[in-house]
Structure 1
Amino acid sequence: RKVKRFRNQLYMLVIVPLWVSYLVRIVAWRTILGRVGVLNTILLSLKIIDEPLSIFIYSPFAVYVALIYIALPYVFISIFNSLEKIPKNLLDASADLGANSFNTFLHVILPLSMPGVISGFTLAFVIALGDYIIPQQLGGLNGMMFGNLIVTQFGYAYNWPLGAALGFIMFTVAVVILLVSQKFGSSEGFLE
């Protein structure tokens, strides 16, 4: 309830990065995480390190940070919309019955928002599953992911049968994840 005053500002803060091109956001992360990037410059100026660290760029760390940054708005929007749909009278009823904030969250808010949580994380997983640009641009040789393997088979190796087989495996994994999330993400599954 306290966040209600800043709801629109918070929502816009999360939505605005989606207006920027996907590739521009990746280039921005290269600027932030690079050897002479923003993060190393801040650490050097605070005297935390003596020389720039190269672990931020072309590493799994850079890939994870960028994938989380790319997928986080979708998770936030899904959870936010799910929380908005919770009837306020249920929260009042919970308080009237003597539940504290934690119990209200655990027994009312969490079960009712779970479909949004599951759909948000499923969407984030599917986005990250097929992404090959972030690992290629920020991970270097250490950032190989499944999507990169498929692109390599179709592009550089000219091994289309293996690329098609890997693509089918990725498709199957994505469909299974979507079906499981549809089964457990329905509002009936958590309220019964």
Structure 2
Amino acid sequence: MTKTGTRNRINAGAWLISPPAFFAVALLAVPLAAVVLISFWTQTGIRDFDTALTTANYREALSDPLYLQLMMRSVWVSAAVTLVTVVLAFPIAYYVSFHVSPRRKPLWIFLITIPFWTSYLIRVFLWKVILGYSGVLNTGLQWLGIIDDPLTVILYNVNAVVITLAHAYAPFAILPIFVALEKIDRPLLEAARDLGEGVVQTFRRVTLPLAMPGVIAASLIVFIPTVGDYITPRLVGGPGGLMIANMIQTQFLRLNNAPMGAALAVQAMGIVAVLALVFVLVLRKLTRRLAQ
């Protein structure tokens, strides 16, 4: 191909990606840059800012025990939700991929995506009804005689937040793991068994390493947004289940301190980015060890 033809193809490709690139910059990069800039300002009035750049907001965010506690709780809750969601999602994805006939797989995927049909807010309210003191779970356990008094550890605390978020993000974990399992060549598994590997060894040394990209994707898809979730902690978490996103909302909408809220948001994004990178590196090393 001539240089002119190559240049024309490059120009055509640039024109094709320019609209989505423009929208990505306009709707994501510009607001993000604005948040970062505001985080270095100081609020002086209801709508007035001192635009002199300062790191006071970040120093307060890193030194105030309340902010640190909320950040640590957010990371812990998100990690717990990710672990629970992925551990429960993997068997479902594995069953659909390996034990469901190809003709019925679309039906299973359709059933898995049914929760997306309802509003996220409605699903959270439903879990509030299920986990309530007079809710479905407590009433059922009392009717069966398993408990005498309603359980107090499943609502308005961190446990309720983990349960609700794990259910809400389960489809996001099942689908990428299922896609990764579907890409595994079945002859590889047969070859491992022909070489004398048992079912467990075949799963550990062949299936799991090859499915790890889906596990990594599912973990990131669940972990990153749950750190910034504020609806679920507000509705089912109670005072002991609030997370950093609730404080960010409070700073912006109630305390009228947008720079402090922006600083907390930037700090949360930075921590999540570092933890996500470390998580990916650790899982990659684990994958290599499992394949050995």
TM-score for both structures, normalised by structure 2 = 0.60
What corresponds to 1:127 in structure 2? 225
What corresponds to 2:247 in structure 1? 149
Matches within 5 A, 1:26-175: 26-175=124-273
What corresponds to 2:111 in structure 1? 13
Instruction: Please report how far the alpha carbon of residue 175 of structure 1 lies from its aligned counterpart in structure 2 after TM superposition.
Output: 2.8
CA deviation profile, 1:40-64 (whole Å, cap 9, x unmatched) = 1101101122232333221111111
Identify the range of structure 1 (173-182 vs 128-137) with the bigger mean alpha-carbon deviation. 173-182
Number of residue pairs matched by the alignment = 190
Paired amino acid for 2:234: Q
Partner SS for 2:100: helix
Partner SS for 1:99: coil
Native 8 Å contact 1:67 1:128 kept in 2: yes
The whole-number CA distance in structure 1 between the counterparts of 2:192 and 2:145 is: 51
Note the residue ranges of structure 1 that are not aligned, 5 or more in a row: none
Cα distance change of structure 1 residues 95 and 181 upon mapping to structure 2, 3 Å threshold: same
Cα distance change of structure 1 residues 96 and 139 upon mapping to structure 2, 3 Å threshold: same
Structure showing greater Rg? 2
Note the residue ranges of structure 2 that are not aligned, 5 or more in a row: 1-96
Higher relative contact order (CA 8 A, sep 6+): 2
The whole-number CA distance in structure 2 between the counterparts of 1:91 and 1:64 is: 35
Native 8 Å contact 1:35 1:53 kept in 2: yes
Native 8 Å contact 1:44 1:52 kept in 2: yes
CA deviation profile, 1:103-136 (whole Å, cap 9, x unmatched) = 1111111111111101101110012111000000
Paired amino acid for 2:207: I
Cα distance change of structure 1 residues 2 and 86 upon mapping to structure 2, 3 Å threshold: closer
Instruction: Please report how far the alpha carbon of residue 73 of structure 1 lies from its aligned counterpart in structure 2 after TM superposition.
Output: 1.3
Instruction: Please report how far the alpha carbon of residue 177 of structure 1 lies from its aligned counterpart in structure 2 after TM superposition.
Output: 4.1
Instruction: Please report how far the alpha carbon of residue 183 of structure 1 lies from its aligned counterpart in structure 2 after TM superposition.
Output: 5.8
Instruction: Please report how far the alpha carbon of residue 184 of structure 1 lies from its aligned counterpart in structure 2 after TM superposition.
Output: 6.6
What corresponds to 1:4 in structure 2? 100
Q: CA RMSD in A?
A: 2.2
The whole-number CA distance in structure 2 between the counterparts of 1:85 and 1:94 is: 17
The whole-number CA distance in structure 2 between the counterparts of 1:108 and 1:120 is: 19
Paired amino acid for 1:164: A
Cα distance change of structure 1 residues 180 and 2 upon mapping to structure 2, 3 Å threshold: closer
